[in-house]
Amino acid sequence: MMTRAKALLLALALSGCNQGPPEEGPADTRVPNRIARQMEDTAPRAAQHGIGTPLADRVATLGLLNKRNNISQDVLLKPGESRRIGNVILKLSSCERTLPWEAPPETGAFVQVFVEERDRIEKPLEWHRVFSGWLFRNSPSLNMVQHPVYDVWVKDCAMNFPGEDQPLPDEPAPAAKPAADKPLDGAAADAAAKSDDAAKPASPKPAADAAASKPE
C-alpha cells in the first residue's frame, strides 16, 4: 500500500515537472476607477480657440521610454483620452502648436503621468501621480518628467490652421536676359569699322587751311 502511494506521488511530481511555464494572460490596460476620477478632478479645462483644428479633433504623439529595458514606443492620444501601458498611465488634456507665422515654432502638450510602484519594499503597489504639466518639443528643459524608470516627451500635435494646406502661389518667371552680341570675325569687323567711319560726319577744316585754299 505504501509503495503504491509513493509511486502515485512520484508520478504526480514528474507530471508537474514536465509542464511548461504558465501562459501569461493579456496585459491589463484598464485604468483604475480611482485614478480615472483623480485625473478628471485635476485635469485643466483647456480653452477652445477659434482658429485651427478643434481641440477634440487634435491628435498628440507622445514618446514613452522604459529605462529598465531601453524600449520606447509612441502613444497617440486625443485630448481627454488616457491609456495604460503596463504600470504606466498617460492622460492627455490638451495639445497646441504655434501659428505658422509665429517664431520660433513650438509644439506642446499637457500630460499627466501615473506610475504603479511601491514607496517601500514592504508596502503594496500603489498608483502615484509623478507628473502633471506642459511638455514642449523644442524646449524640453522647460518642464520634464523626472522619474527613475520612465521618461515621457511630446513629439507632435496633429492640427492645421486655415490656409496652411493650400499651395503657395506660383512665383513669376524671371525676365529673360538679352542675348550677348557674338564677336565678329576679321572681315566682318573691318566692314563694320568702315561703315562706322563713313557714317561719321566730316570734321570742319581749320581756319588757316580754309584761307590757304582760297584763290588770290
Q: Cα–Cα distance between 153 and 156 in angstroms, integer?
A: 10
Q: What is the domain partition of the chain in residue ranges?
A: 28-45+53-158
Predicted confidence (pLDDT) per residue in 76-132, tens digit: 999 999 999 999 999 999 999 999 888 999 999 999 999 999 888 888 889 999 999
Half-sphere exposure of 135 (CA within 13 A, CB side): 28
Predicted confidence (pLDDT) per residue in 151-169, tens digit: 999 999 999 988 776 665 5
Half-sphere exposure of 192 (CA within 13 A, CB side): 7
Pair 127, 101: CB distance under 8 Å = no
Angstrom CA distances, 45 to 57, 97, 110, 143, 156, stand at 16, 17, 11, 20, 20
Pair 46, 34: CB distance under 8 Å = no
pTM here is 0.60
